[in-house]
Amino acid sequence: ILHHSGTTLEMNSLTSLASTATAIQINTDKKVKVSNVLKLISGTSITLKPSAYLEVGDNLILNSGSITLESDSNDFSSLIVEGNQWGSIKYSRFVREYGSPNFRGNLIGSPLVGEELADIISQTNLANDGGTPEQFAIGPYDNSNNTWEVYTSAEITALADDEMVTGTGYQMATDDADNSYGKTIDFTGTVNTNTTVNVSVINSDGNGSGGRRWNLVANPYPSFLNIGDNHHATNNFLDTNSSIL
């Protein structure tokens, strides 16, 4: 376990630490910054507990090691990679339970690149109605007619190789059988290292089919975004998109 009494631990490399420990844990509310390349030794694992933070200043090379980001109903871990990444990581993302008669759940997108819809649908924590065809609690929003779609068991074969679209939001809910208020869904893939992700925003209001101007977009990163000036003076979502909002 990685212990550090302060809030932020700055290191040139975690390689020497990983060579003597097969399991590294970054605890809740702790930040670790690696200034250059982070390369894991085969078999080494790094786990980020909810609200933990890891920033890699250059490339991230998993080399048959693993990184898992955890979250719960209140806190989410964060990973930032300034360079490129080799190897897949896992983000166990907390998703609220399905509520009846009113849908609760969450409106989210994949925090990683390469996650396939069929993989999400196959996870037992995802809510479903048990019908024929079976309907799963995941689907996109269609603003052309203001409807929410859900995927069914009849579509699984067609969705076999379809990846969740980067920056696209989906409605999603987990099974509430044990009254746990939600469970985690595992997303697997790579960190989006592009500093800009373009998502088409379409105004369907007035199209004659009940369309709306609202679009469902999602955070495409396994880290928080700067939303307004109080997070960053210029590099924030509202200022960057001020010309179109």
Alpha carbons within 13 A on the beta-carbon side of 200? 6
Q: What is the DSSP string of the chain?
A: -B--SSSEEEES-SHHHHTT-SEEEE-TT-EEEESS-EEPPTT-EEEE-TT-EEEESS-EE-TT-EEEE-B-SS-B-EEEESS-EES-EEEEEEEEBP-SSS--SEEE--SSBT-BHHHHHH-TTB-B---SS-BBSEEEEETTTTEE---BGGGTTTTTTPBPPTTB-EEE-B--TT--SEEEEEEEEB----S---------TTSSS---S---B---SSSPPP-STTT-SSSSHHHHTTTT-
CB 151 within 8 A of CB 117: yes
pLDDT of 16 reads: 45
pLDDT of 5 reads: 46
Encode the chain (245 residues) as per-residue pLDDT tens digits: 444 445 555 555 555 444 456 788 888 998 998 888 888 888 888 999 999 999 999 999 998 889 999 999 999 999 999 999 999 999 999 999 987 656 679 999 999 999 999 999 999 999 999 899 999 999 999 999 999 999 999 888 788 789 999 999 999 999 876 667 899 999 999 999 988 889 988 999 999 999 999 999 999 999 998 787 677 777 777 788 888 77
Q: Would you tell me how many other CB atoms lie within 10 Å of the CB of residue 120?
A: 22
pLDDT of 18 reads: 47
pLDDT of 42 reads: 82
216: closest CA among 130, 146, 134, 127? Answer: 146
